[in-house]
Amino acid sequence: MNTREKKWKKLVCGLAFVLAACMNASVGWTAADMISRETAAAVQMEEDTVLVGGMPIGIYMETDGVLVLDTQEVTGMDGQVYEPAHNLVKAGDYIVGINDAQITDKEELIQSVSHLETKEVVLNIRRNTDRIDVKLDAVESEPGKYKLGIWVKDNIQGLGTITFLNENSEFGALGHGIHDTDTGVLLNIAGGKVYKTSIRSVIKGQNGVPGSLEGLIVYNHYNRLGNITKNTETGIYGELEDLQTLFKEQIAVQVADMEEVKKGPAMIRCYIQNEVKEYEVQILEVNVSAHESNKGIVLQVTDEELLKETGGIVQGMSGSPILQNGKLVGAVTHVFVNDPTKGYGIFAEIMINETAD
């Protein structure tokens, strides 16, 4: 490793709502202010090399439509209990319109429901890849005030680790997709941002209880680093606008083909004790045809320092680069709940290919 060259956010129609966090985050306002852009093209890199990551990032993503979490009973003016959306709207649906008027976020949904003049409602729904119209009768809970009895959210925040940056300033992170914690579905996003984050503490992992990195994220334009364009099963992807904040130490490495990854010693890069360092691991299994693309590698933390600080792999370390023989071979994706010293990884080649699509 020492011989490498250095270079780079209840009820709708209450309508209160649930704002769920992916992990640990502090909510703030985003802004569209421009940040000066510095591309990775300024770094002398070969075609098959990337800048290796390991740094923590704050994540904010907006859903493409308003995500349905569940339905709920509503009490009408007559004192009767109704559940107007039951068996009509499903968890995982996205509300994209109401009475053929486009809906992009929960505020628009709240406003549309607050202006209903009749109980008859047609929700325009995206369910998987299908567009359907769902007719239901809203419940008048107070004179002129209607409720649909649907729990929704339209954004998610959290913390993860950046894996790499290519010569076009395109990054890959996490190594797995961000799924809604209530429905379990992969989030369809309209876009998102990445932010600087400050790691305040580490909750050490124990058998049966995964640990986590505890961080503070302030969502404003001063801390914004770039944009998220894709949320896939293999990670989140986008472009950085601020290169130097994350990649102060610009380490360029080659990307290994899947067939190059072998059982045996390797390193992971992650942010512990206020710095990015490399820690020893052992690659225990390599499966290039794994059913789940983000579980092709099985690894075990062997580094005594990392074991002392974290107990092994903790939440927030997803995306930590895995290096072997001086090359980027993968990224950490999951922890074994019953043995936090072990976890899964995804092949770097899969993540790199995602940036080309």
The residues that are catalytic are 176, 303, 318
Distance CA 357, CA 355 (A): 6
Distance CA 224, CA 241 (A): 8
Both tokens assigned to 199: 């790691």
User: Are the C-beta atoms of 321 and 52 separated by less than 8 Å?
Assistant: yes
Distance CA 320, CA 277 (A): 11
Distance CA 228, CA 332 (A): 20
Both tokens assigned to 41: 């093209």
Reduced to 3 states, what is the DSSP secondary structure of residue 73? Answer: coil
- Residue 246: which H helix or E strand, with range? helix 243-246
Distance CA 74, CA 25 (A): 31
Both tokens assigned to 174: 């996490």
Distance CA 106, CA 10 (A): 11
Task: Say which amino acid occupies 69.
Answer: L
- In 205-338, the DSSP E strands lie at 212-216, 224-232, 235-240, 252-255, 264-272, 275-286, 297-301, 321-324, 327-336
Distance CA 157, CA 228 (A): 12
Distance CA 279, CA 340 (A): 15
| Closest-CA residue to 139 (of 91, 73, 68) | 73
Q: Which residue has the tokens 């914690």?
A: 181
Distance CA 93, CA 350 (A): 29
Task: Say which amino acid occupies 11.
Answer: L
User: What residues contact 11, with CB distance under 8 A and at least 6 apart?
Assistant: 17, 72, 147, 149, 150, 151
User: Are the C-beta atoms of 229 and 237 separated by less than 8 Å?
Assistant: yes
